[in-house]
Amino acid sequence: MTASFKKSKLGFGLAVLVPIFFLFGIGLFFEQGIIIPVKGPAPRDWNPASFWSPVWGASGVHKGIDIFTPRGTDALAAVSGLVVFQGELKLGGKALAVLDPKWRLHYYAHLDSAAVRAGEWVSQGSVVGKVGNTGNARARPPHLHYSLISLIPRFGRYSGQAEDWKLMFFLNPADYLG
């Protein structure tokens, strides 16, 4: 490999990474509205008290909210961001995660299908999948499990609750929707 090839490859990587870090760095300073991540439902279609509800089966506490709606309903990007995961998980079934400019992950689980792949940029309101009941929701009505996870810990949220160290990262989506 020649030195010029190595240099140009490094230059290309920096040309891509610098704008991404700038976008996600500057995003911390701006408000960002989050929309309901399912087409049609309103706040009455989920129980805000279900967030961090203890004794929630294999997952311990419930780290999000469940938005109930018919199978095949469009799951929407709650925010614009980068899809950082799309695949299948034991508990979440077909799932995906979107990283927003405020360094938060928007986690969508129990999808019937995904319409995006890791590495794609999604715009707020665009279809990211279809609601289902995959994973540990097979015996339950179709719904979207939606979690909001901060990559920046919020140390003031540490408490004596079950799995409390995780509470520094998980935010109640119901506080941001509706």
Q: Where are the domains of the chain?
A: 1-30, 31-175
Number of other CB atoms surrounding residue 69 within 10 Å = 20
Which DSSP symbol is given to 138?
T
C-alpha–C-alpha distance, residues 37 and 153, integer Å: 24
Phi, psi of 44 (to 5 degrees): -70, -10
Rounded to whole angstroms, what are the CA distances from 70 to 105, 112, 130, 132, 143? 25, 11, 10, 8, 7
Q: Per-residue pLDDT tens for 129-145?
A: 999 999 999 989 999 99
Q: Please tell me the distance from the alpha carbon of residue 8 to that of residue 54, in angstroms, as a whole number.
A: 53
What is the CATH code for 31-175? Answer: 2.70.70.10
Q: How confident is the model at residue 167 (pLDDT cuts 50, 70, 90)?
A: confident
Q: Please tell me the number of Cα atoms within 13 Å of 119 on its side-chain side.
A: 1
The residues pairing with 111 across neighbouring beta strands, listed in sequence order, are 94, 131
- pLDDT digit string (tens) for 57-95? 666 778 999 999 999 999 999 999 999 999 999 999 999
Residue range 136-157: average pLDDT? Answer: 91
**The model's pTM:** 0.80
Q: So what's the pLDDT on residue 1?
A: 46
The predicted-structure confidence for 5-63, as pLDDT tens digits, reads as follows 444 455 556 666 666 666 556 555 656 689 999 998 877 888 877 887 776 566 677 89
Average pLDDT over residues 156-168: 76
